[in-house]
Structure 1
Amino acid sequence: MSFVVYKNWIFPEQAFPVDLIKRNDTKDNNSPHGLRLLIQDYPYVVDGLKICSTIETWVQDYYNFYYKNDEMVKEDCEVQCWWKELREEGHTYMPNRSTISRRFMPELSTLECEELESNPEKAFSKTITAMLQTLIGRFCQGIPWMRYLLGRETLKWTTDTKPLEAFKKIGEKLAKIEENIIDMNNGSEEKWRNGVGPAKVPYTLLLPTSETGLTSRGIPNSVSI
């Protein structure tokens, strides 16, 4: 199902700034991040543009180190196979759903087994976690094994010096962004009032990091988000 959608999927149009232009924000090279915002005090946009710019810098630094030109990308068989599979085969499991089955394999000569034989799609759909449970259980809670933006299980993911330096630089920039978001929530400037609002609940959705538990913060380092 997903690969059918991807046939008409234009990759550059998925960029956050491009999406904002579709929502009536205006392209303006003299404004921060090249956009003149329709609503200046819109935390999701203000924070999102900073993070988007940081990710873009990291990707460019990484890309420029390993790929000196476009031909090197075309010659990378793993990248080409990944993109081909994405467009022609799609996901094995539904996007944003757990890949863990919620049912055991049916025993022979049971109603469940007959259903699997006669209507495998219906049988498969019953093994998938419900959407609400998935959203709450996976995305709202800080799971111990969750890797957040630029998170790594080990610092020895590469021995190349330049990518490691770029990784460290971007990590420091994300920490600064998180600090700025907290400052805005604390009312460091009068113009940033929507980060807390009348209910005095700080806006933390795009804080890059999170602890374990229901925190309403943290950007998962995942392609499914």
Structure 2
Amino acid sequence: MNVADALKKKRLFVLDYHDTLMPYVQKVREIEDKTLYGSRTLFFLNSDDTLVPLGIELTRPPIKGDPKQWKEIFPPGTNSTDVWLWRLAKAHVLSHDSCIHQLVIHWLRAHCCMEPYAIATNRRLSTMHPIYRLLHPHFRYTMRINANARKNLISAGGIIEDTFSTASYSVELSSLAYKEWRFDLQGLPDDLVHRGMAERKTDPSGRDVFELTIKDYPFANDGLLLWDALWQWVTKYVNHYYADAENAVINDEELQAWWKEIQDKGHPDIKEGWPKLETKEHLIKIASTIAWVGSGHHASVNFLQYAYGGYIPNRPSIARANMLTENRSVSGRKEFLNQPEEKLKKLFPTEDQATKVMKTMFLLSMHSPDEEYIGDDIEPAWDLDQSISNAFEEFKTKLMMLENKIDELNQNEDLKNRNGAGIIPYEAMKPRSNPGITGIGVPYSISI
């Protein structure tokens, strides 16, 4: 299969951190014991839906002392030297991925962007308003945990700056990524379509369905089931409370003030990507998106962090040494050939940095004993309304079915991304969990 065929058949995928990180390469390199590259990693999709890496491209722009750009591609390799170079390059990419995951996917898209929704909901909606009651559980503890994060995690000289790739430029990177943020891409289906991981189609009934580019994609497979359960619950809820008049949504002054404040006060820098709020359909999508970000999105990017990142060699958070092929040092190459593992150890975080990251991942991945999981307890006001009570029970039933479906998928030996030797069963979207580190459980809100 040639490249043109692979592209046409959607068999090539790229993990692209080149443009995001390149502006920070020289800045980070001026900090002692830290380095950075722009990176791209190319993957090929096998017929069994597993991804195989084809190569890593690392790029360093012109910097002080070296006016020429340096760029090199590292394939997985077959001989010992190339295999070790691949390991070094892979460690760099993993540190980039850890950085973007923490600062953009986790902190920005979940924690930060939920704050304006929580504030506007409390400022603009009465506690008796049905949308307040619908969304209120999804804001539990979010403001408090964000305050703690600003104090200890992302603060100047804090854990993130000390232990992640972009160092003291971490918050700046998050702010830069925010410029590309759009509300209409935060719901799971739209996110998948935007990233080329799904295609939107219409079934015979006229309902949107999503065909995944990678059929065995556990996050998307399970996430879409959770999204659908949320969507159906929100749909029945909104249709019940806004059933009386065709213009009930657009004439709801509290609701309109709420949506306006989210845009004008909460996210004033973002001018694109805001859906209208004029119909029940608009409200259903907006409310479902907010509920998803606080529950399914955050759970999937947070509670598996210790499982994957707690063992630092598996997912280093920072790289401290340049690729030896960048400088072509004769002595450096000799040391590398004699003891390549020492070069890898020098690239990894220090023991102090590794310990901080492990402790942080441990705490972030832990469910508290008072966690409130999605669909657990019905709000008292809903229990008094038979229609809403029935809809909530249907929601709970779908969540129980989701748990069973996830178990079924994890036992399917044809699904190589979730079943096989050494493969961790993907259970992040299972709604309920015991306290502690389980890798399971979807709380209502961003509570840790």
**What is the TM-score when the length of structure 2 is the normalising length?**
0.36
CA contact (8 A) 1:33 1:53 kept: no
Deviations along 1:29-88, one digit per CA (max 9) or x if unpaired, are 249961221111111110011111111000000000001256322343443343233223
**Cα distance, 1:28–1:210 mapped onto 2, change above 3 Å:** same
Say whether 1:174 aligns with 2:346: no
**Cα distance, 1:149–1:199 mapped onto 2, change above 3 Å:** same
- 2:194: which partner in 1? 22
- 1:156: which partner in 2? 380
- 1:60: which partner in 2? 235
CA contact (8 A) 2:410 2:418 kept: yes
Distance (whole Å) between structure 1 residues aligned to residue 387 and residue 404 of structure 2: 26
Distance (whole Å) between structure 2 residues aligned to residue 88 and residue 34 of structure 1: 33
Say whether 1:165 aligns with 2:390: yes
1:140-155 superposed matches below 5 A: 140-152=365-377
Distance (whole Å) between structure 2 residues aligned to residue 209 and residue 223 of structure 1: 15
Distance (whole Å) between structure 2 residues aligned to residue 155 and residue 144 of structure 1: 20
Query: Which residue among 210, 220, 230 is the counterpart of 1:35?
Result: 210
- 1:90: which partner in 2? 266
SS at match of 2:202: coil
Distance (whole Å) between structure 1 residues aligned to residue 421 and residue 358 of structure 2: 28
**Paired residue type of 1:87:** Q
**Cα distance, 1:177–1:70 mapped onto 2, change above 3 Å:** same
**Cα distance, 1:212–1:33 mapped onto 2, change above 3 Å:** farther
Distance (whole Å) between structure 1 residues aligned to residue 408 and residue 227 of structure 2: 19
SS at match of 1:72: coil
Aligned residues: percent identity?
31
Distance (whole Å) between structure 2 residues aligned to residue 71 and residue 134 of structure 1: 49
Higher helix share: 2
Distance (whole Å) between structure 1 residues aligned to residue 373 and residue 438 of structure 2: 13
Distance (whole Å) between structure 2 residues aligned to residue 18 and residue 64 of structure 1: 23
Distance (whole Å) between structure 1 residues aligned to residue 218 and residue 402 of structure 2: 12
- 1:71: which partner in 2? 247
Say whether 1:219 aligns with 2:392: no
| Higher RCO structure (Cα 8 Å, ≥6 apart) | 1
**Cα distance, 1:201–1:14 mapped onto 2, change above 3 Å:** closer
**Cα distance, 1:7–1:193 mapped onto 2, change above 3 Å:** closer
CA contact (8 A) 2:236 2:391 kept: yes
Distance (whole Å) between structure 1 residues aligned to residue 391 and residue 188 of structure 2: 22
- 1:183: which partner in 2? 408
Tell me how far 1:135 sits from its aligned partner.
6.4
Larger CA Rg, structure 1 vs 2: 2
Question: 5+ unaligned residues in a row in structure 1: which ranges?
Answer: 97-129
- 1:125: which partner in 2? none
- 2:320: which partner in 1? none
**Cα distance, 1:22–1:44 mapped onto 2, change above 3 Å:** same
Tell me how far 1:18 sits from its aligned partner.
1.3
SS at match of 1:61: helix
- 1:45: which partner in 2? 220
Distance (whole Å) between structure 1 residues aligned to residue 358 and residue 259 of structure 2: 30
**Cα distance, 1:67–1:136 mapped onto 2, change above 3 Å:** farther
**Cα distance, 1:83–1:167 mapped onto 2, change above 3 Å:** same
CA contact (8 A) 1:151 1:221 kept: no
**Paired residue type of 1:185:** N
Tell me how far 1:137 sits from its aligned partner.
3.1
- 1:120: which partner in 2? none
SS at match of 2:444: coil
Q: Which moved more, 1:192-201 or 1:23-32?
A: 23-32
**Cα distance, 1:197–1:164 mapped onto 2, change above 3 Å:** same
- 1:202: which partner in 2? 425
Distance (whole Å) between structure 2 residues aligned to residue 20 and residue 213 of structure 1: 30
Higher strand share: 2
